[in-house]
Each structure stands twice: as structure tokens, then as C-alpha cells.
């Protein structure tokens, strides 16, 4: 990188214009570069004059005992300015639609409950405007409001999946590949299920940070069927604890079909696990046993709505009636459980069966179901509301049983090949959880001979073959797979190169993005040359002003030849840059001598730590 030192500025025309105009660069109380009286003032770039830190730097005579609340306001204002100019690429305003598009690229939707105030302000401005709405700094501040931390995290690419747009592009490819799978039959033993088209196919995902993506038929309601089993089990454990629940149901895979009349006969008779019909029927008898039927159903519905972030959770009475009329096998299982005394004392077997049929008839969409899955992935906290819905114990136990027993007779092969907790249902749904990353719902009615969605299984297998989501994938040394959780700037050597080339080309937009992503703007290459050295040597005035006024980098750092950024600017004849650096050095030194320099030097670090 030391070869950059010998390169001349590529923007000689602008520099010559400055020289011809006879600029006398001084930093005044209005923080501007000033021409002689015959010329109009040329202001600093907008992102400098808008920064409260700039005015503070050049008015160091101000009372140092500033109120703490005022200091916090200045910090928040600086965060808003930096975020605004990062999104607008340095422009004073952009169309509102461009801001919404940039927001969606991070994975956040305008329907996100956390952005309610932001969306309200945007709609208000749209109603009050005659033509297209432009988002300027004032409107941006109104829209951001209390969401500054969330939005900063989003645009800093600090979510669990930093490059969400690239990730979802690959998800769309997998969706299209799975759509070509045409095997399987739609379940017909429950008449209502047979009415669904075999062409329906949708995939939705929600990360633990609330990033959302949907493709296909994701707004069509369908019944959870067996996908409700892990959810009702998690509710039971959350309310009663694992010890109480597992007095009545086991933890082992059965090795039989999900609706087989079979019990674990070691010791006390009980169903093998909560993921088969017998286990789910017993779990139904444990939830609010002393309440009436309506209260029990409402209780579970409210729980599921909380898991879904208040998104769609409905009920299909037609499917419920169809389940009751054709549920001879489940009635047989119920009487077998009653004979073997598997229910709690005084439990009503018929009431437990009706409740089980009701739970299987609860409707979701792929979109709302993905939030439920993400709540399990997030340790019981709903990503879109931030509310704790389930205890950590309930989530851990639920995911463990989903991993070992969730895919019917295919559970062992699914655990081997996919290695993730999942639960399938005869409606064609597959509820998939990538712990600490995201939850997904894949839905397509055609089933294979084991009762699993053909397209859903294909999608899950391709997902894990491309991304290292398998529970036992090595995250450090498995280079054949892609890790969407890894940031592109995780390599420190790459980040130094990117930073210095941005300074070399005078790319203030990239410098602004690096600052927002908490990159150390003072890092240097093997010649000890910093971004400020490069920008000064190239004569990029705006880049130098940004590095000094916004990033507060140290102007006294020397490269291996003993040169400071000011030395480089003077050596290559960049008078304007040299003048800016001379003034900044004086201010930087004065603050350091009076003890206030530490605060100014670390203002951006404070910003980063606050975020």
C-alpha cells in the first residue's frame, strides 16, 4: 500500500479551482471554509456542519460542565446524522420510497411492530404532501424517533444475517428448485385437507433479529395439524415444568407411525414422546385442566398469537368438524390411553380429544408461522415484539424432541442429513428451527409415503447442503459451505485494504459506511499509513474533513518514513488540505492539553459503544 504515497491526486481540476479562487482556509465559528469578501462563502460539506461535535470542537471556550442530558442528545443527534447520510449516500434528501427500499434490503418490513412509530410518521408525511415525498434530515429524525438503535444496527449490518439481500437471493433459488418436485399426494383422510391444490408452495423465514423474507404462497391460511404438537408441548412445559409433564409422556422416538396404538411399557405406561398422536392427546389433557373448553382454547390461542408477534392465527371450524367425524383412529388411541391410565387423575378423555382436534385445526400462514418458529430459535422471545413468551427450559426441551422425534418415521434420516429441529404436519407444513439464527415454515400439500411434504423436505436438505446450518457443521474450518452469519469485513486485512482504497479514491460514502459499522478509522497498513495519510496525499478535501471532523482521527500519526498526513499534503502541494489539517492539529492539540481532548477523540467510540 506504500505505493499509494507516490500517486498524485486524480482530481486536479477541483484543486485548481480552489487555488484560482484564492481560498484562505480558516475554521471559524460557523465551521466553514471562507473565501475573500469578493467571493461567497463555501461551506463545509453538509454532514460536517450538521454535526454538533464540530461546533463543540471549534468552540472549546464553552463551559466544559455540560449537562449530561444535553451530551446524550448531542450523541443521539450525531448518530442520526451519520445514519441519515449513510442511507442517502451523502445527499440532503432522497425519495421516501428509496428509504423504504433500503430498509427492506436489511430484512426489516414496514409491518414490523417495532417500526410502528416510524411508519406512522411516513404515512403522515405522505398524506400531508401533494407530490412525491422527499425524506430530508428533519423528516428522517421524526421517523427514526426511538428506533435509532434498531435502524443503526440494521444499516451497520449487525443483524444475525448481515448481507440479507444476498442470503434471500439464494433462498429464492432453493425455492425454485424445490418447486420442480412434483411427487407426492395431498392428504385425503381428512376431507378438508384434500381440497388444497397440490401446486401451492410457500416459504417464509424470520431471523432472531426480526429480518423477514417470504416467497410463494405465503399468505394462504392452512391448518397446523401435527405442527401444533411442539407448540402445545412447549406451553405445557412453560406452565407446569418438565418433571410434571414427563410424568405422563416419554422422550424417546417410537420407531412407529405417528398414529399407531403403541405405548412405552418400561415402568409406567405412557406415550413415547409428545410428537406422536398419543403423546399430544395426553399433553392436551395437561393444559389448564380445571378450565372449561372455551377458556382452554382461548388460552392456547393467545399464547400462539404472542409467539407469532400478533400476526395471523385463526381457526378452521370445518377442519375441526372433519377431524371429529373421521377421527376413529384417534378415538381408539384415546380409549387405549384411558385403559392404561395414562391420563392425569380426573381427566376427561373425550374433552382431551376434542381439545386436540381443535389445536390441530388452528390456522396460520407461512408468514405468521415463521415468527412462531423464530420465537423458538430466539430462546422463547418473539423477535418482532421483544416479549418473552416461553421459558428457556421449555424451548430447549421442545427443540430437543423436535430434533429426535419431529419428522415421523423420517426423524432419524432428517436428523442425520439436515441436523436441525423440525416438525412436519399432514397439511404439508414443515416447521424448521435454526437455533439462535432463524425460524422457517415451508408449506406444500403433496406428501411422501411417510407423511412429510415432498417440496419441504427437498428445500430443507438443499438449505443445509449450501449453508452450514447443520448442528454439527464446523463453523471455522468447513470451507465448502457458506456461512450467512459471517460479515464480509470479518477479515482485518481486508478491512484495512478497503478503508485505504476508499481514502485513496476519496469515496466519502464508503468511509461513512465504515464509520457506521464501527470500523477503526485509525488502523494502518504495514507502512503505518492511515486513511488520513492517503486522503491527504491524494488531495481529497471532503475525505480529509470527514476523517477529522466526524471520525476525530489522530492527525499526528507517522508512517514508517516519519511523515504525518500534513507532511504528505504539503509534499504533494495540496494547500487546501494542508490548511484544514493545520487548523485541525491546533484544535486537536489544544483539547489534549486542557484535558477535553480525550472526550472529543473518543466521541465516535462512545457512539459505537452506545449502539
Whole-number pLDDT of residue 451: 87
Whole-number pLDDT of residue 422: 94
Mean pLDDT, range 24-40, rounded to an integer:
32
- pLDDT band, residue 140 (cuts 50/70/90): confident
Mean pLDDT, range 36-60, rounded to an integer:
37
> Residue 280 pLDDT > 60, yes or no?
yes
Whole-number pLDDT of residue 216: 94
Whole-number pLDDT of residue 395: 94
Is there a contact between 367 and 218 (Cβ–Cβ < 8 Å)?
yes
- pLDDT band, residue 479 (cuts 50/70/90): low
Cβ burial of 477 (10 Å; 0-12, 13-18, 19+) is: exposed
Q: Is the dihedral of CA 271, 276, 281, 283 positive or negative?
A: positive
What is the rounded CA–CA span in Å between residue 171 and residue 422? Answer: 18
DSSP 8-class letter at 33? E
What is the rounded CA–CA span in Å between residue 141 and residue 148? Answer: 9
> Residue 164 pLDDT > 90, yes or no?
yes
Mean per-residue pLDDT over the chain, rounded: 80
DSSP-assigned letters across all residues of 189-225: SSTTGGGS-TT--EEEEEETT--EEEEES-SS-EE-G
pLDDT tens per residue across span 236-252:
999 999 999 999 998 88
- pLDDT band, residue 493 (cuts 50/70/90): low
List, in sequence order, every residue forming a beta bridge with 315; answer none if it has no partner.
362
Whole-number pLDDT of residue 260: 66
Is there a contact between 424 and 406 (Cβ–Cβ < 8 Å)?
yes
Lowest mean pLDDT among 50-59, 114-123, 517-526: 50-59
- pLDDT band, residue 26 (cuts 50/70/90): very low
Is there a contact between 216 and 199 (Cβ–Cβ < 8 Å)?
no
Mean pLDDT, range 515-536, rounded to an integer:
84
Whole-number pLDDT of residue 597: 42
Mean pLDDT, range 192-206, rounded to an integer:
92
Lowest mean pLDDT among 104-118, 144-158, 475-489: 475-489
Half-sphere exposure of 295 toward its Cβ, with a 13 Å CA cutoff? 6
Return the higher-pLDDT residue of 267 and 57: 267
DSSP 8-class letter at 547? I
What is the rounded CA–CA span in Å between residue 534 and residue 3? Answer: 10
Is there a contact between 346 and 275 (Cβ–Cβ < 8 Å)?
no
Whole-number pLDDT of residue 121: 86
pLDDT tens per residue across span 1-14:
444 433 333 333 33
Length of the chain: 611
Radius of gyration of the chain (CA): 31
> Residue 200 pLDDT > 80, yes or no?
yes
> Residue 38 pLDDT > 70, yes or no?
no
Is there a contact between 391 and 379 (Cβ–Cβ < 8 Å)?
no
Lowest mean pLDDT among 81-85, 175-179, 328-332, 406-410: 81-85
Whole-number pLDDT of residue 256: 65
Mean pLDDT, range 48-63, rounded to an integer:
39
Which of 177, 172, 185 has its CA nearest to residue 454?
185
DSSP 8-class letter at 62? S
Taking CA atoms, 238 is separated from 273, 345, 369, 484, 578, in Å, by: 17, 21, 20, 32, 66
| 112-126, 427-441, 482-496 — most confident range | 427-441
pLDDT tens per residue across span 286-335:
998 888 889 999 999 999 999 999 999 999 999 999 888 888 888 998 89
Which H or E run includes 124? helix 116-128
- pLDDT band, residue 440 (cuts 50/70/90): very high
Which of 153, 179, 178 has its CA nearest to residue 164?
153
> Residue 16 pLDDT > 60, yes or no?
no
Mean pLDDT, range 582-591, rounded to an integer:
78
Is there a contact between 555 and 564 (Cβ–Cβ < 8 Å)?
yes
- pLDDT band, residue 520 (cuts 50/70/90): confident
- pLDDT band, residue 495 (cuts 50/70/90): confident
> Residue 450 pLDDT > 50, yes or no?
yes
> Residue 608 pLDDT > 70, yes or no?
no
Whole-number pLDDT of residue 229: 93
> Residue 611 pLDDT > 90, yes or no?
no
Whole-number pLDDT of residue 257: 67
Taking CA atoms, 232 is separated from 149, 224, 274, in Å, by: 34, 11, 9
Q: What percent of the chain has pLDDT over 90?
A: 38
Strand, coil or helix: what is 264? strand
Mean pLDDT, range 82-98, rounded to an integer:
81
Residue 457 CA to chain centroid, in angstroms? Answer: 25
What is the rounded CA–CA span in Å between residue 38 and residue 101? Answer: 44
Whole-number pLDDT of residue 129: 77
Amino acid at each position: 500500500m506504500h505505493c499509494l504515497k507516490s500517486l498524485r491526486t486524480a482530481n486536479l481540476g477541483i484543486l485548481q479551482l480552489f487555488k484560482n479562487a484564492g481560498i484562505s482556509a480558516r475554521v471559524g465559528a460557523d465551521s466553514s471554509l471562507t473565501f475573500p469578501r469578493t467571493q461567497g462563502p463555501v461551506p463545509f460539506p453538509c454532514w460536517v456542519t450538521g454535526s454538533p461535535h464540530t461546533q463543540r470542537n471549534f468552540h472549546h471556550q464553552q463551559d466544559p460542565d455540560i449537562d449530561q442530558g444535553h451530551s446524550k442528545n448531542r450523541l443521539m443527534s450525531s448518530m442520526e446524522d451519520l445514519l441519515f447520510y449513510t442511507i442517502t449516500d451523502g445527499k440532503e434528501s432522497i425519495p421516501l420510497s428509496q428509504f423504504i427500499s433500503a430498509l427492506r434490503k436489511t430484512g426489516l418490513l414496514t409491518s414490523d411492530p417495532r417500526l410502528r412509530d416510524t411508519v406512522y410518521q411516513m404515512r403522515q408525511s405522505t398524506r400531508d404532501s401533494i407530490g412525491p415525498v422527499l425524506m430530508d434530515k428533519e423528516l428522517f429524525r421524526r421517523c427514526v424517533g426511538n428506533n435509532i438503535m434498531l435502524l443503526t444496527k440494521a444499516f451497520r449490518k449487525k443483524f444475525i444475517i448481515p448481507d440479507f439481500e444476498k442470503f434471500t437471493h439464494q433462498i429464492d433459488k432453493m425455492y425454485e428448485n424445490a418447486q420442480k418436485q412434483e411427487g407426492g399426494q395431498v392428504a385425503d383422510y381428512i376431507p378438508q385437507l384434500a381440497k388444497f391444490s397440490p401446486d401451492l408452495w410457500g416459504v417464509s423465514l424470520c431471523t432472531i433479529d426480526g429480518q423477514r423474507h417470504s416467497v410463494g404462497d405465503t399468505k394462504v391460511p392452512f391448518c397446523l395439524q401435527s405442527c401444533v404438537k411442539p407448540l402445545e408441548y412447549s406451553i405445557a412445559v412453560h406452565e407446569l415444568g418438565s418433571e410434571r409433564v414427563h410424568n405422563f409422556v416419554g422422550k424417546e422416538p417410537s420407531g412407529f407411525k405417528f398414529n399407531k396404538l403403541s405405548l412405552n411399557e418400561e415402568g409406567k405406561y405412557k406415550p413415547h414422546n409428545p410428537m406422536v398422536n398419543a403423546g399430544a392427546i395426553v399433553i392436551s389433557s395437561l393444559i389448564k385442566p380445571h378450565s372449561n373448553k372455551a377458556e382452554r382454547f382461548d388460552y392456547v390461542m393467545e399464547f400462539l398469537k404472542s409467539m407469532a408477534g400478533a400476526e395471523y392465527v385463526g381457526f378452521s371450524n370445518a377442519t375441526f368438524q372433519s377431524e371429529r367425524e373421521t377421527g376413529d383412529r384417534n378415538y381408539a388411541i384415546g380409549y387405549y390411553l384411558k385403559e392404561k391410565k395414562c391420563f392425569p387423575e380426573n381427566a376427561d378423555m373425550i374433552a382431551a380429544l376434542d381439545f386436540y382436534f381443535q389445536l390441530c385445526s388452528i390456522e396460520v400462514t407461512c408468514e405468521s408461522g415463521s415468527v412462531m418458529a423464530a420465537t423458538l430459535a430466539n430462546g422463547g422471545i418473539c423477535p418482532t415484539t421483544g416479549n418473552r413468551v416461553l421459558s428457556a427450559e421449555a424451548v430447549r426441551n421442545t427443540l430437543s424432541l423436535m430434533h429426535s422425534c419431529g419428522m415421523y418415521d423420517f426423524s432419524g434420516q432428517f436428523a442425520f442429513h439436515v441436523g436441525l429441529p423440525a416438525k412436519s404436519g399432514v397439511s404439508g407444513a414443515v416447521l424448521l428451527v435454526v437455533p439462535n439464527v432463524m425460524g422457517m415454515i415451508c408449506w406444500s400439500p403433496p406428501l411422501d409415503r411417510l407423511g412429510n411434504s415432498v417440496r419441504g423436505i427437498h428445500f430443507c436438505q438443499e438449505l443445509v447442503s449450501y449453508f452450514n446450518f447443520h448442528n454439527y457443521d464446523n463453523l471455522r474450518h468447513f470451507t465448502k459451505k457458506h456461512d450467512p452469519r459471517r460479515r464480509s469485513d470479518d477479515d482485518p486485512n481486508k478491512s484495512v485494504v478497503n478503508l485505504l482504497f476508499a481514502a485513496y479514491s476519496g469515496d466519502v460514502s464508503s468511509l461513512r459506511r465504515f464509520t457506521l459499522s464501527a470500523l477503526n478509522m485509525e488502523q494502518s497498513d504495514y507502512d503505518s499509513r492511515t486513511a488520513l495519510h492517503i486522503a491527504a496525499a491524494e488531495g481529497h478535501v471532503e475525505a480529509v474533513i470527514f476523517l477529522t471532523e466526524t471520525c476525530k482521527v489522530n492527525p499526528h500519526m507517522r508512517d514508517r518514513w516519519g511523515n504525518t498526513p500534513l507532511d504528505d499534503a504539503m509534499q504533494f502541494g495540496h494547500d487546501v488540505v494542508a490548511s484544514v489539517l493545520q487548523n485541525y492539529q491546533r484544535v486537536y492539540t489544544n483539547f489534549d492539553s486542557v484535558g477535553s481532548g480525550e472526550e472529543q477523540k473518543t466521541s465516535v467510540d462512545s457512539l459505537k459503544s452506545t449502539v
